Amino acid sequence: MKVPSRVDTIFVGGGGASYPGAFELAKAGQSVLMVDDKGNLGGDCLYAGCIPSKSVRTRILDYTSTTNKVDPDEVWKAAIELKEWVQEIRYEQHREEIKEHEPNLTFLKGWAVIEGPNTVRISTEEGEVKVETKNLVIGAGAENVILNIPGKELVLTSDDLFAYRRAIKRPPRSLAIIGGGYIGVEVADMLSRLGVHVTIVEMMDRLLPNMPPDMSKAAMQRMQEAGVDVHLGFAAAGIERRGEYKVLKARSKDGRELEVEAEEVLMAVGRRPRTRNYGLESLQAQGLELDRGAIKVTPGMKTTISNVYATGDVTGKAMLFHAAVKESIIAAKNILAGGRELYRFNYHSVPYTVFTYPEIAVVGYTEDELQAAGIPYEVVLYRLAGDAQSQIVGHREGWMKIILEKESLRVLGFQAYAHNAADLSAVFALAIENNLTAKNLAWVAGPHPLTFEAINYAMRPYF
């Protein structure tokens, strides 16, 4: 492949933080180079994250929702086959998308090292090449956090469960999970349905510690129903082998000790922005600033260097694929505007979802944020016991909390524990992004008999 020596924009990374913006610029006539070491688009989300994990979840729910007696190895095999099939389809889709945007877009499999705001050195199977650029977009993603504790080499990560062509062949019979965030809780929900004995060890005093307390309570409720053992307030201290098992050792702040014996131990303490091994220090020497280990950006995705943008997980903001896509497009639109920040990101309109079943979802301001800001608000709590679809699927325990500005009735926030909480959160993301009010939602005729109707019912007092 002939690599151009000079382009308008280089994208470092090929995930959701890069390719949507690269496509926008290529369609607008810019010359664009995108570099990713995986050799295809989709980033970690497609390789080992959102897509494969939700494919596995879907197949497990397919089997376990119809019977309590399942062969865990058989179900896992079917789940892995589904996720591999979906990954292959999507990789092929991306190959076609690349072709559709040629010749303005060049996609290169390789490792990019930034040498300055206008220069990137790329190592490929054919050798090295330097490319000059007017604009640089860093969408390098994130990496799993591995605690520096004795025995850390014994752990699994989510990659071992979901990565393309390298997932484990069968589920463990027992699993200790370090971390009670969204990854740990989702994996616990999935595998417990296959009869795996799961234990979560979390150092904070609640599950989902980065979400509002009501969501933590919902997660704990689900874990208890699933038979998952949860130990809060214990920090992982080490892992060792004991015969055929691994033993996770943990310690509380007051000195209590805990040992959990399991076939496997999963490290799920979170992900951090990837800022190493691709030359970021060369930009720091020229004024690039980091903020708490992430690249500092404006709402228009500009860094502290005028022609350098950063998007996606590397910014440490909303570390979610759908947020990365929007950030990528915002960066592209502002590049086309000559660097003016005509487009800006509203992070309060990004939904956060946890794919247990029932699901957990949050979007918008929390009550704590509004109280701190001195913004008057009111809360509408709507329980789904009387909702038709919730009755049909057998999950009447769900609820929605809708937060409204006191006088204007503008939608400020939404939280839910429901069989389709993720779908419902999209409605409220739209409402928050567009400053819609309770009256706007009350006048929408939600399709019957779906839980979208419940939004209408909850908002009707505000006609």
Contacts of 292 (CB under 8 A, 6+ apart): 316
| pLDDT > 90? residue 347 | yes
Percentage of the chain exceeding pLDDT 90: 98
How are beta strands 264-267 and 174-178 bridged, if at all? parallel
The neighbour count for residue 152, using CB atoms within 10 Å, is 15
| pLDDT band per the 50, 70, 90 thresholds, residue 398 | very high
Q: Give the residue-averaged pLDDT of 47-76.
A: 94
| pLDDT > 90? residue 60 | yes
| pLDDT > 80? residue 1 | no
Total-model pTM: 0.96
Q: How many residues does the chain have?
A: 463
Looking from the CA of 74 toward its CB, the CA atoms found within 13 Å total 6
| pLDDT band per the 50, 70, 90 thresholds, residue 339 | very high
Q: Give the residue-averaged pLDDT of 424-439.
A: 98
Place of tokens 């330097």: 130
Domain boundaries 146-269, corresponding CATH code? 3.50.50.60
CB 262 within 8 A of CB 248: yes
* Tokens (6 digits) for 377: 């608000």
pLDDT in tens, 45-56: 999 999 999 999
| pLDDT band per the 50, 70, 90 thresholds, residue 463 | confident
The neighbour count for residue 306, using CB atoms within 10 Å, is 11
Q: Judge whether 6-143+273-345 and 146-269 match in fold.
A: yes
| pLDDT > 80? residue 141 | yes
pLDDT in tens, 293-313: 999 999 999 999 999 999 999
pLDDT score for 6:
98
Mean of the per-residue pLDDT values of the chain: 97
Q: Give the whole-angstrom CA distance, residue 223 versus residue 87.
A: 29
**Which run of H or of E encompasses 121?**
strand 119-124
Q: Give the whole-angstrom CA distance, residue 26 versus residue 275.
A: 27
Domain boundaries 6-143+273-345, corresponding CATH code? 3.50.50.60
Whether the ω angle into residue 449 lies within 30 degrees of 0, i.e. cis, is yes
Q: Give the residue-averaged pLDDT of 26-34.
A: 98
Whether the ω angle into residue 72 lies within 30 degrees of 0, i.e. cis, is no
Q: Give the residue-averaged pLDDT of 390-410.
A: 97
Looking at domain 349-462, its CATH class is alpha beta
Cα–Cα nearest to 231, from 262, 195, 207, 215: 207
Q: 313 to each of 229, 349, 430, 453, how far by Cα in Å?
A: 31, 17, 22, 34
| pLDDT > 90? residue 266 | yes
| pLDDT > 80? residue 67 | no
Looking from the CA of 352 toward its CB, the CA atoms found within 13 Å total 21
| pLDDT > 80? residue 340 | yes
Looking from the CA of 21 toward its CB, the CA atoms found within 13 Å total 39
User: Where do the domains of the chain lie?
Assistant: 6-143+273-345, 146-269, 349-462
pLDDT score for 434:
98
Q: Give the residue-averaged pLDDT of 112-133.
A: 97
Contacts of 360 (CB under 8 A, 6+ apart): 208, 211, 215, 218, 219, 353, 354, 416, 417, 421
> What letter does residue 320 receive in the DSSP assignment?
S
| pLDDT band per the 50, 70, 90 thresholds, residue 66 | confident
pLDDT score for 68:
72
Q: Give the whole-angstrom CA distance, residue 102 versus residue 348.
A: 35
* 3-class DSSP assignment, residue 218: helix
pLDDT in tens, 186-215: 999 999 999 999 999 999 999 999 999 999
Place of tokens 């076939």: 263
Percentage of the chain exceeding pLDDT 70: 100
